[in-house]
């Protein structure tokens, strides 16, 4: 047996340590190393190497009974088991506490590791997005849309030469899209060169006669510059497919109710069409400012040229249509005058038959009658003596008939 205080060997049967004089406590054999190993396995070190000391036993005894300081009693097996159980309970508590702390530290390390991974991933994606953005920006800057955008910015800032180069570059990249042509025309408009601006579109549609987008851009140019009268010419001769796509910009020419030609009496002409109709009668080209057709046109004797256009809801005129009409009213024969030439002895009246649309004029002094001679209003009394009577008819249009002459002699018996 060893002394629990100094560790010296105590001969069997002795109750006092021969070295330190500490009384001997008789307890069952117990190896403290067992507890130390248990604590080390569970991750707890604190207190694992402390041996079962005498004062622990004394404290246990103090809780149960009061003894003299020199009394000696051998602990029972149950008491030793209870002491061992208490120590094991503390060991388990320490182990559980150490395990929780270890788990907490593990979780913290995992969280820190996860955070570092997330930060690394985020940094990677930020760099990736940055690289992608730079590449996309460079690609866009060199794309058709990017070139157009840069050229428009130059145009807006007044850098016309830079804008012109940009729009021409865009056309070279994609000749089928209209933005480059529209932008280039705006450069020429800024330079007050409408002919050059128009030529941009004329050249484009001539080289690509099936490109509806280019026709749309050209039409928009004409409308913005107030040249809608040129749109019909632009669309004239286009392919049927193109015309179908651009139907809204087309205006049908007005229709004439009367075929052109020569007529022998006064005529009326009616013009019809979708939109407002404007016309001229003097041979000039009609515009939106010309006379608007509201009622049938009366064609009197003579020749007239009617030119007309029809303007649709978008203000786009049709092609001009022209018709020529001639009205030639036949001239009446010389007027019928009664009585006939001769000698008369009784009072007699001279009469002239005047057809509709004519006025009769006469003279009685052997001169040729005209529209400035005496107008015939009714029967005329034949003068006494010799009379040289002459009559003529003048139409409402100013045409004159042949002259009828009579020679009268009136003598009373």
pLDDT at residue 54 above 90? no
> How far does the chain reach from its first CA to its final CA, in angstroms?
210
pLDDT at residue 69 above 50? no
pLDDT digits (tens, 9 = 90+) for 125-168: 888 888 877 776 666 667 899 999 999 999 999 999 999 999 99
Work out the mean pLDDT of the chain and round it to a whole number: 84
Those residues whose C-beta lies under 8 Å from the C-beta of residue 403, and which sit 6 or more positions away, are 334, 368, 369, 390, 391, 392
HEC profile for 238-257?
CCHHHHHHCHHHCCCCCEEC
DSSP string, 315-384: S-B---EEEEEEE-PPPP-SPPEES-SEEESS--EEEE---TTEEEEEESBS----TTSEEP-S-EEPPS
- Domains of the chain (ranges plus CATH)? 144-249 (1.25.40.10), 255-327 (2.60.40.10), 337-410 (2.60.40)
What tokens appear for 319 in the block?
């092609």
pLDDT at 388: 94
Segment (H or E) for 235? helix 231-235
SS3 for 227?
coil
Q: Can you list the alpha helix ranges (DSSP code H) found in 4-73?
A: 32-41, 54-64
b/e per residue, 305-324, with b = 16+ CB within 10 A?
Answer: ebbbbbbbeeebbbebbebe
Percent of the chain exceeding pLDDT 90 equals: 52
Task: Check if the beta carbon of residue 305 is closer than 8 Å to that of residue 322.
Answer: yes
pLDDT digits (tens, 9 = 90+) for 209-258: 999 999 999 999 999 999 998 999 999 888 888 989 998 888 889 999 99
pLDDT at residue 35 above 90? no
Return d(Cα 212, Cα 218) in angstroms, integer.
10
Return d(Cα 65, Cα 273) in angstroms, integer.
130
Instruction: Give the residue, 140 or 52, on which the prediction is more confident.
Output: 140
Segment (H or E) for 104? helix 77-141
What backbone phi and psi angles, to 5 degrees, belong to 9? -75, 135
* pLDDT band (50, 70, 90) for residue 47: very low
Other CB atoms closer than 10 Å to residue 276's CB: what's the count? 18
What tokens appear for 84 in the block?
């061992």
What backbone phi and psi angles, to 5 degrees, belong to 73? -145, 135
Other CB atoms closer than 10 Å to residue 130's CB: what's the count? 10
Which residues is 289 bridged to in the sheet?
Answer: none
């Amino acid at each position: 047996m060893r002394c629990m205080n100094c560790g010296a060997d105590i001969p069997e049967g002795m109750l006092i340590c021969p070295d330190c004089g500490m009384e001997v406590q008789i307890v069952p054999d117990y190896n403290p190393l067992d507890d130390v190993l248990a604590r080390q396995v569970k991750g707890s070190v604190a207190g694992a190497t402390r041996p079962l000391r005498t004062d622990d036993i004394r404290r246990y005894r103090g809780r149960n009974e009061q003894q003299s300081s020199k009394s000696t009693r051998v602990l029972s097996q149950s008491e030793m088991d209870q002491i061992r159980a208490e120590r094991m309970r503390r060991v388990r508590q320490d182990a559980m506490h150490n395990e929780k702390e270890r788990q907490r530290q593990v979780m913290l390390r995992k969280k820190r590791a996860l955070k570092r991974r997330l930060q690394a991933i985020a940094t990677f994606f930020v760099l990736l997005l940055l690289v992608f953005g730079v590449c996309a920006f460079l690609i866009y800057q060199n794309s058709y849309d990017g070139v157009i955008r840069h050229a428009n910015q130059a145009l807006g800032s007044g850098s016309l030469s830079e804008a012109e180069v940009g729009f021409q570059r865009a056309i070279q990249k994609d000749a089928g899209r209209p933005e480059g042509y529209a932008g280039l025309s705006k450069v020429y408009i800024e330079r007050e060169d409408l002919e050059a601006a128009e030529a941009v579109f004329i050249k484009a549609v001539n080289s690509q006669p099936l490109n509806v987008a280019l026709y749309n851009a050209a039409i928009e140019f004409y409308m913005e510059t107030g040249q809608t009268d040129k749109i019909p010419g632009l669309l004239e001769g286009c392919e049927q497919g193109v015309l179908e796509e651009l139907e809204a910009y087309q205006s049908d020419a007005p229709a004439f109710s009367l075929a052109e030609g020569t007529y022998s009496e006064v005529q009326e002409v009616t013009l019809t069409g979708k939109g407002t109709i404007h016309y001229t009668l003097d041979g000039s080209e009609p515009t939106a400012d010309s006379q608007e057709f509201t009622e049938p046109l009366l064609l009197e004797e003579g020749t007239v040229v009617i030119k007309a256009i029809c303007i649709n809801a978008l203000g786009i005129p049709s092609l001009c249509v022209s018709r020529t009409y001639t009205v030639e009213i036949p001239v009446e024969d010389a007027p019928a005058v009664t009585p006939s030439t001769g000698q008369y002895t009784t009072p007699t009246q001279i009469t002239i038959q005047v057809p509709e649309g004519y006025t009769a004029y006469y003279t009685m002094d052997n001169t040729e009658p005209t529209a400035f001679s005496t107008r015939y209003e009714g029967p005329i009394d034949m003068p006494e003596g010799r009379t040289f009577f002459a009559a003529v008819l003048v139409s409402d249009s100013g045409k004159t008939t042949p002259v009828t002459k009579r020679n009268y002699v009136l003598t009373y018996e």
